[in-house]
Amino acid sequence: MKGWVLEGSGNYIENNPQPWRRGNIRLVHDLPDRMIRTALGDLSYPVEGFQSFQPILGMTIARNFDLQPYRVSEPTGHISFLLNSPSRVDIYVNNRKVRSLQLDSGPFDISDFPVVNGSNDVKLVITDAAGRVEVRNVDIVSDTNLLAAGYHKFAYNIGVLSSTASGDVTYDYHAPVLSVFHRYGLTDSLTLGGNLQAYQKQQMTGFDATIGSKWGVFRADLAGSHLTDGVNGFAWQAQYQITDHVKNEDSGSFNGTKNFRLLASYLSANFAPLGLLLPNNVSSYRLATRYTQQWSPTVTLGIGGRYKIGRGAQPDDWDYTLSLEKKLSDSVYISANLGRRSVEGYGAFLYLSWTPRSSRHSINGSYDSFSNTARTDWNYAQEGRAKSISASAGAVRTKDEYAGSGGITYFGERGEVTASHDIVTPFGSQNSSLVTAESFSELRFASAIVYGGGHVALSRPISNSFVIFAPDPSIEKYPIGINPQGRRSEDRTYEAMTDNWGPVVLPDLTPYLYRTVRVDASELPPGFDAGDGTYTFYPTYRSGAFVRLVSDANVLLDGMLQYADRTPAALQAGSIRLAGPSNAADSETFFTNRAGRFRIEKLKPGRYVMRLYNFPGVTLPIAVPEGAAGATQAGTLIFPVTREGAKPDHDAVPGHNPDHTQTSPQPAQEGDGP
């Protein structure tokens, strides 16, 4: 209501000691122009650095870039240069042309051209009018940890700690808690931030800095904690990553993507983030690194490892891995990871995926020698979500048991039905009475009751925002498809279709993303119209929209046109418009056949004026009666001119001579043809 959303959840479990259980309840209000989300109640909030999420009852205000998904918050391409003469400027990012501009002489700033995460080689090819070519190279770095210059990212949360035990939600009103962070893009290559979490028993504060350059992106996090009993702790973490994206060189050689990541961190024995009152960090230093390179368009190699230094009597822990990924064809993909761990020794993880081309099926298989687990899965999903089926089946073998599962889901326009079955068979002696197979079957129905625009509808479960389409009573018995898929020559499918159950719903609109929806009213009888054929929605958070499928121009006027001498007005072009002041754009053009017959669509009840283009200044008034819809017979109309174009005498004009009467348009009777 007016941009405010009250959301909550709960469930009921039969034969449970406490059958009713309440979920989170909150009041949410978005400020999309400022990319800010506010909430009051059981909070869901972001964290940064060493912060930890703890359930809080309270209030939050946070920057949420999802409220403007078309705006890029990371650094984007920005280049300044001077042209001495009119030139064409071609922009290449990682050897791929992304933009061409024809510019006059003078200084220019070009920004917001697309770049990818990591290091980007940007090349400007400047060609002047004389054909001289100048090439300028620029390195641009973009990363999700970096903010564009001048951008803020923050979350301020205050409230009391909450906890859930045995289905009960309790709040510690004697424990007010604060959780905040704020990050700022000082420049496109430097982002700074600070954070704080505190309540009466502990406090933790931190600082972070992110630097981007052509040599990669470096982020450092520092944090310190304090407990009320005087125990202090310290932690730091440093991350470095450089990504060099795939390039197709001018020589035709292939230079695949290279990625290198390095992470080092340290936790003191007593470092305690929010919620941890008895810290016992068994490891102090941790080092992890990985390098991958795309060797060819179908082969990627990688190597990585990690090392953790144990504290006190705790042993060190380490492992390293070699990986190979290979695309055998458009439908077959394999990968292999060979590694060694400090405790388990040598092992391998193998993976195979097969997705046939132009198929909705996929088969995956894997084997993990460390856990002695083999798994095979099959999945199938028809296109779309309305009147479609998805199914899956799988089997897994571990060192202790066999397990199998399968399920099928039907996605209808009014709900979903899922049937599944799982079976687990433990290993053991055949004579053991303790070895029994466990079997579990489930049949689940899921639907939603949706209200909007004074209408109630049944729908598939709503993901966030929705739109209801309700046909007018005059056309509600005819099917109208929403978002047709496939060609008309084939069996078309729709995301939703009206039927005897009433209005239909599209249940999966994403907030703050434009969604274009098409309406297929091709099944309506001639003359009926459902209104606009295309709608564009811009939903807000958990919002609903209502569309009435109707047009007041539902009349198809069918009649014969004759001259005053009763000869057919054959092969004539003319126009018809509502009587009274109007623009030429309000007119509908029509044509007659050799017998003088005409058919004019998309008219509505009212008084009209008809003209023939060959007889300027001559008009014929006609009336479409109230309540007319669909094919409406106009009868024989007498145009007040002779075939040769001379006006008849006064008595020949319809209405003045009983021998030249005009038949008034009448709605077609049930069963009448057009």
pLDDT tens profile 100-143: 778 777 676 666 566 666 666 677 788 877 777 777 776 666 66
**Residues for the chain: how many in total?**
674
pLDDT the model gives residue 649: 43
Domain boundaries, position 105: 77-142
Task: Let me know whether 531 and 560 are in one domain.
Answer: no
Mean pLDDT of 384-388: 79
Band the pLDDT of 4: cuts 50, 70, 90: very high
pLDDT the model gives residue 446: 92
Task: Let me know whether 660 and 561 are in one domain.
Answer: yes
Q: Answer yes or no: is 472 within a domain.
A: yes
* CATH classification at residue 542: 2.60.40.2610
Q: Answer yes or no: is 646 within a domain.
A: yes
Q: Answer yes or no: is 70 within a domain.
A: no
105, 86 Cβ separation under 8 angstroms: yes
Band the pLDDT of 80: cuts 50, 70, 90: low
Q: Answer yes or no: is 293 within a domain.
A: no
Q: What does the pLDDT look like over 257-282, one tens digit per residue? A: 888 999 999 999 999 998 888 888 88
Residue 240, SS3 per DSSP: strand
Task: Let me know whether 560 and 662 are in one domain.
Answer: yes
Tokens of 363: 């088969």
Q: What does the pLDDT look like over 532-546, one tens digit per residue? A: 889 999 999 999 999
Task: Let me know whether 602 and 639 are in one domain.
Answer: yes
Task: Let me know whether 586 and 492 are in one domain.
Answer: no
Tell me which of 51 and 552 has the higher pLDDT.
Answer: 51
Task: Let me know whether 462 and 524 are in one domain.
Answer: yes
Of 525, 549, 573, the residue at which a domain comes to its end is: 549
Mean pLDDT of 506-520: 91
Burial 20-33 (b: 16+ CB within 10 A, else e): ebeebebebebebe
pLDDT the model gives residue 115: 61
Does the structure show a pLDDT above 90 at 73? no
pLDDT the model gives residue 488: 58
pLDDT the model gives residue 34: 93
Q: HSE on the CB side for 471, CA within 13 Å?
A: 25
Mean confidence (pLDDT) of the chain: 84
Does the structure show a pLDDT above 50 at 672? no
Of 517, 549, 581, the residue at which a domain comes to its end is: 549
Quote the percentage of the chain above a pLDDT of 70: 85
Q: Answer yes or no: is 71 within a domain.
A: no
Q: Answer yes or no: is 245 within a domain.
A: no
136, 205 Cβ separation under 8 angstroms: no
pLDDT the model gives residue 317: 92
Q: Comparing C-alpha atoms, which of 71, 68, 90, 69 is closest to residue 79? A: 90
Q: Comparing C-alpha atoms, which of 671, 396, 408 is closest to residue 525? A: 671
**Model's pTM, two decimal places?**
0.75
110, 92 Cβ separation under 8 angstroms: no
611, 618 Cβ separation under 8 angstroms: yes
Residue 355 phi, psi dihedral angles, 5° rounding = -125, 100
pLDDT the model gives residue 670: 39
Of 505, 521, 549, the residue at which a domain comes to its end is: 549
Does the structure show a pLDDT above 90 at 13? no
* CATH classification at residue 95: 2.60.40.3110
Q: Answer yes or no: is 625 within a domain.
A: yes
Task: Let me know whether 610 and 663 are in one domain.
Answer: yes
Does the structure show a pLDDT above 80 at 250? no
Q: HSE on the CB side for 226, CA within 13 Å?
A: 10
Comparing 4-13, 25-34, 378-387, 530-539, the range with the smallest average pLDDT is 378-387
pLDDT the model gives residue 585: 59
Q: What does the pLDDT look like over 638-654, one tens digit per residue? A: 898 887 664 554 443 34
Task: Let me know whether 532 and 621 are in one domain.
Answer: no
Quote the percentage of the chain above a pLDDT of 90: 42
Task: Let me know whether 537 and 456 are in one domain.
Answer: yes
Q: Answer yes or no: is 583 within a domain.
A: yes
Does the structure show a pLDDT above 70 at 612? yes
Mean pLDDT of 484-506: 79
112, 76 Cβ separation under 8 angstroms: yes
462, 449 Cβ separation under 8 angstroms: no
Does the structure show a pLDDT above 80 at 319? yes
Does the structure show a pLDDT above 90 at 39? yes
Comparing 107-111, 278-282, 461-465, 576-580, the range with the smallest average pLDDT is 107-111
In this structure, how many other beta carbons lie within 10 angstroms of the beta carbon of residue 384? 15
Tell me which of 530 and 80 has the higher pLDDT.
Answer: 530
Measured CA distances, 439 to 379, 401, 402, 431, 481 (Å): 21, 13, 12, 20, 42
Task: Let me know whether 543 and 566 are in one domain.
Answer: no
* CATH classification at residue 662: 2.60.40.2070
pLDDT the model gives residue 35: 93
Task: Let me know whether 565 and 612 are in one domain.
Answer: yes
Question: How many separate domains does the chain show?
Answer: 3
